[in-house]
Structure 1
Amino acid sequence: MGGTMDGTKQRRRGNTRQRIQDVALELFAEQGYEKTSLREISERLEVTKAALYYHFKTKEEILVSIFEDVSQPIEDLIEWGRQQPHTLETKQEILRRYSDALAVAAPLFRFMQENQATVRELRIGEMFKNRMLGMKDILVDPDADLVDQVRCISAMFTLHAGMHVLSDIEGDPEAKREAVLEVAIDLVTQAHQATERP
Structure 2
Amino acid sequence: MAAREGVDNRRTDTRERALAVALELFATHGYTVTSLREIAEHLGVTKAALYFHFRTKEEILTAILRGYLDGIAALAVDATARQPLTAAMREELVRRFAEHQAHWGIDLILLVRQNYTEIQSLPIGEEVREVMASLVAALAPAGSGPAERLRVRTALSAFQIAAVTAARDNDGDGDALQEAALAIALEILAG
TM-score by length of 1: 0.86
Distance in 2, Cα, partners of 1:88 & 1:38: 46
Hey, what does 2:22 align to over in structure 1? Answer: 24
Quote the RMSD (CA, aligned, Å).
Answer: 1.8
Which amino acid counterpart does residue 163 of structure 1 have in structure 2? A
TM-score by length of 2: 0.89
Hey, what does 2:181 align to over in structure 1? Answer: 180
- State the 1:166 CA deviation: 4.0
Deviation per CA, 1:141-195, whole angstroms, max 9, x where unpaired? 12234333321221112222222134425323222111111111112112xxxxx
Hey, what does 1:92 align to over in structure 2? Answer: 91
Structure 1 residues 146, 49: CA separation in 2 closer, same or farther (over 3 Å shift)?
closer
Distance in 1, Cα, partners of 2:74 & 2:33: 33
Hey, what does 1:10 align to over in structure 2? Answer: 8
Structure 1 residues 35, 181: CA separation in 2 closer, same or farther (over 3 Å shift)?
same
Structure 1 residues 146, 76: CA separation in 2 closer, same or farther (over 3 Å shift)?
closer
Distance in 1, Cα, partners of 2:74 & 2:145: 28
Structure 1 residues 95, 19: CA separation in 2 closer, same or farther (over 3 Å shift)?
same
Percentage of identical aligned residues: 34
Structure 1: segments with no counterpart, 5+ residues: 191-198
Deviation per CA, 1:92-122, whole angstroms, max 9, x where unpaired? 1110000110111121121111122222222
Q: How many residues align?
A: 188
Judge conservation of contact 1:71–1:105 (CA < 8 Å) in 2. no
Which deviates more, 158-167 or 11-20?
A: 158-167
2:130 is the alignment partner of 1:130: yes
Work out which of the two has the higher radius of gyration on C-alpha atoms and give 1 or 2. Answer: 1
Which amino acid counterpart does residue 171 of structure 2 have in structure 1? E
Judge conservation of contact 1:140–1:153 (CA < 8 Å) in 2. no
Structure 1 residues 170, 21: CA separation in 2 closer, same or farther (over 3 Å shift)?
same
Hey, what does 1:68 align to over in structure 2? Answer: 66
Structure 2: segments with no counterpart, 5+ residues: none
Give 1:32-51 correspondences, 5 Å limit. Answer: 32-51=30-49
- State the 1:15 CA deviation: 0.6
Judge conservation of contact 2:155–2:185 (CA < 8 Å) in 1. yes
- SS of residue in 2 equivalent to 1:36: coil
Distance in 2, Cα, partners of 1:149 & 1:71: 20
Judge conservation of contact 2:154–2:188 (CA < 8 Å) in 1. yes
Which amino acid counterpart does residue 42 of structure 2 have in structure 1? R
Hey, what does 2:81 align to over in structure 1? Answer: 83
Structure 1 residues 30, 156: CA separation in 2 closer, same or farther (over 3 Å shift)?
closer
Hey, what does 1:112 align to over in structure 2? Answer: 112
Which amino acid counterpart does residue 94 of structure 2 have in structure 1? L
